[in-house]
Structure 1
């Protein structure tokens, strides 16, 4: 639970005005929506810890704002979880457990004599209903295209683009690296990275979660000549900022990107990793980063749940 000192909103307003920044200016610099910042400054919503760090950096507060926000355990929530574990299991761990919890409580199931008398088609109908309630009703997590790599506050806060986007949209982000290996890249990745057929790359396999649910898989291919024996080639946990910050420490900052998007149905492994219901396709986005000399130094194939994520691009059009 987040506890906010009453002086937080007053200090935030004073600092913003002293810097001559409008909510629009602050939103663009901090990578949070203008309406959300307005609600925070008016005391209508508590700030997230990500936002507090962003405001400290953008307003040059030197930690003043962070010292006014603390987190404490919520004893009442812990007690409720211990007393009613099935309630939280139903909402947090996927459709199968949700159906199991619903089945335990359902008078319909009891009238039919228990789960043994319920047909597979009936349970499939229940799973679809719960899926519609808990997943389809939520707006998709928006991937913000080129803008996700251009915001300087990401570097100041050591945030990955995914973490910044998810936090801005009210989701709790987490990235888990499942494996790091060396291999020859797929043909399309080798072409995008301008590699010879015999060249090897470091492959980092990541799962991206929002509110504890997997929404995206990422296979990041890094030329061996780029990462050498750095932590990118050896460690699962890269610390704050992830691959994004680790590459910049090696001197590689993206000044241009290239992305191509397709859709298809998932492989069996992808469907299992993303907890996908039958019939839901995936969005496949192949991304490459280029340095100031136009040389590609990283390529990532993202596989996204089409029911949980969307891609947004905004570009200037010459008159």
Structure 2
């Protein structure tokens, strides 16, 4: 997606479990704009997570996380890399730790496991120069900038449940909601 496209993102659909037969949030968001949103699962691995993920999950030095790495496509063109991390003790033995599409997405599966996402996760946005491997996968020229959006999500009971690190090639515009006081 080029930076001149008007696209106001909303995290809520990505935090809402899907109903039976309902499309995933990305496909629905793209379709609402007359586009085709798909994703390709690149890997599912048990890893030593990055420090920010380890800290959020309050993990000890030996604990692992499961990461699901995906390539996000818009009309068949790569627009984002998305890595979603889950504590290994939560993900092991579930579809989160298996290669393959999760019907309804991870947030729907987590909800069936008792992890209902909070309404307002913490999101951190940074800009950096794409690495050579990011340039290759996202079809970017060397030295191209990317946005890194990291979403830290807790369950409604306060338990850390997911960290998603999204490397984006597109313009990002947010709409903030004022909550009643």
- TM-score, with structure 1 as normaliser: 0.52
Q: 1:260 to 1:309 in 2, by over 3 A?
A: same
User: Are the aligned partners of 2:8 and 2:175 in contact in 1 as well (CA < 8 Å)?
Assistant: no
- Post-superposition offset of 1:163: 2.0
For 1:75-90, list aligned pairs within 5 A.
Answer: none
User: Are the aligned partners of 2:84 and 2:165 in contact in 1 as well (CA < 8 Å)?
Assistant: yes
Equivalenced residue count is 180
Q: 1:255 to 1:169 in 2, by over 3 A?
A: same
Q: Which SS does the other structure have where 1:294 is aligned? A: coil
Q: 1:263 to 1:199 in 2, by over 3 A?
A: same
User: Are the aligned partners of 1:215 and 1:309 in contact in 2 as well (CA < 8 Å)?
Assistant: no
User: Are the aligned partners of 2:47 and 2:64 in contact in 1 as well (CA < 8 Å)?
Assistant: yes
Partners of 1:247 and 1:161 lie apart in 2 by 15
For 1:51-200, list aligned pairs within 5 A.
Answer: 136=2, 139-145=5-11, 147-149=12-14, 154-155=18-19, 157-200=21-64
Give the structure with the higher percent helix: 1
Unaligned runs of 5+ in 2: none
Q: 1:304 to 1:180 in 2, by over 3 A?
A: same
- Post-superposition offset of 1:235: 2.3
Partners of 2:134 and 2:162 lie apart in 1 by 22
User: Are the aligned partners of 1:261 and 1:286 in contact in 2 as well (CA < 8 Å)?
Assistant: yes
Q: 1:317 to 1:238 in 2, by over 3 A?
A: closer
Partners of 2:116 and 2:179 lie apart in 1 by 25
Q: 1:269 to 1:137 in 2, by over 3 A?
A: closer
Query: Which residue of structure 2 lines up, in the alignment, with residue 300 of structure 1?
Result: 164
Unaligned runs of 5+ in 1: 1-134
Structure with the bigger RCO (C-alpha within 8 Å, sep 6+) is 2
Q: Which SS does the other structure have where 1:222 is aligned? A: strand
Partners of 1:144 and 1:219 lie apart in 2 by 18
Q: Does residue 250 in structure 1 map to residue 116 in structure 2?
A: no
- Alpha-carbon RMSD across the aligned residues, in angstroms, is 2.2
